[in-house]
Amino acid sequence: MKYLFVLNAHAGAADHYAELSAKLQILRDAHDVDYALYSTASMEEAQQLIRSSCSAGGEVRIIACGGDGTLSGVVNAAVEFPCASVGVMPIGTGNDFVRNFDNRAAFLDPFAQLDGIETRIDLLRCSERLCVNMLNIGFDCEAAGQAARLRRNRWMGEKMAYISGVAMTLARKPGVCLRASIDAAAAQEHRLLLIAIANGAFCGGGFRAAPRSSLNDGRMDICMVENISRTRFVSLVKSYHDGTYLEKKAAQGLINYSQCETLELQFPQMQNICVDGELFAADRLSVKVLPRALRLVLPRGVMWREESRNDAACPV
């Protein structure tokens, strides 16, 4: 098996190439591992490398070294090849996908990656893209955009950037109008503060927006928050962060939660959409669950969070 470590040169606040290269050299000397390490300046470059490596034949294990956006970009290329499996080293600014697992420190250990165990998880096809973790539209999406701009200031950490982004977005309180058809039912009009469409449970640096989500249950989770006032938002934001809002009487009728296999959205105008932390715009969106579509490698010692797995479908 060949190991391909794809490092996002812009991930995180530190230069990880030298450190990772030294660790991989030790791994090669100790275990005679066939690996390549690439530091890529763009996702297009990374995807070209992945397609070239996988087209050569033989099993390829691709380790996405970066944040959720890096993982998503790697998956969008790797899933084209049955010979490819994907792991992740979360060294980016946004690492919400790995929050679906316990003992997350093992993701950063190349030796644990070598002894990883393969499992299968769902993906979401959102129009022409594949989503690994979550789509966000409305407040969450705009806050993520603000946080990305703030992170350009190197002195501002991930958590502070996101909190500041939330505060700045709350001052404007942009909503989103849409028509939604769930599992081919009749479309309904909604005026929302936000909608989260989830495969994994977490977004925004630890907000547990989809507390009932499982990565391999063949369903997506949808959280729709009505266009509530700033005061009501502030009163609910802690429970939204902790994923306990479904248990709060104050949230009943204001936050609607459902699970489905397909979702069709239409917007009155071009709308910003955040897919695994990356932004694009569209006036309509089709989302479909692709059950067990990704060969995911979990490093030795990593465990599923109980609420993130469907035991009937999980071989780990």
pLDDT at 11 over 70: no
14 pLDDT band (50/70/90 cuts)?
A: low
Q: Give residue 155's pLDDT.
A: 62
Q: Give residue 185's pLDDT.
A: 96
pLDDT digits (tens, 9 = 90+) for 112-151: 998 899 999 999 999 889 999 999 999 888 877 777 776 6
- Per domain, the residue ranges of the chain are 2-123+291-313, 131-290
pLDDT digits (tens, 9 = 90+) for 181-199: 999 999 999 999 999 999 9
Q: Give residue 315's pLDDT.
A: 46
Task: Work out the number of other CB atoms within 10 angstroms of the CB of residue 315.
Answer: 10
- Burial class of residue 104 in the structure, from the number of CB atoms within 10 Å of its CB (0-12 exposed, 13-18 middle, 19+ buried): middle
Q: Give residue 313's pLDDT.
A: 47
Q: Which fold has domain 131-290?
A: Tumour Suppressor Smad4 (2.60.200)
Which residues, 6+ apart, have CB-to-CB distance to 7 below 8 Å? 16, 17, 20, 37, 38, 39, 40, 65, 66
Residue 77: both structure tokens together: 């290329």
Average pLDDT estimate for 280-296 = 97
Q: Tell whether the torsion through CA atoms of 137, 139, 143 and 146 is positive or negative.
A: positive
Q: Identify the CATH number of the domain defined by range 2-123+291-313.
A: 3.40.50.10330
CA-to-CA distance for 198 and 210, rounded, in angstroms?
A: 6
70 pLDDT band (50/70/90 cuts)?
A: very high
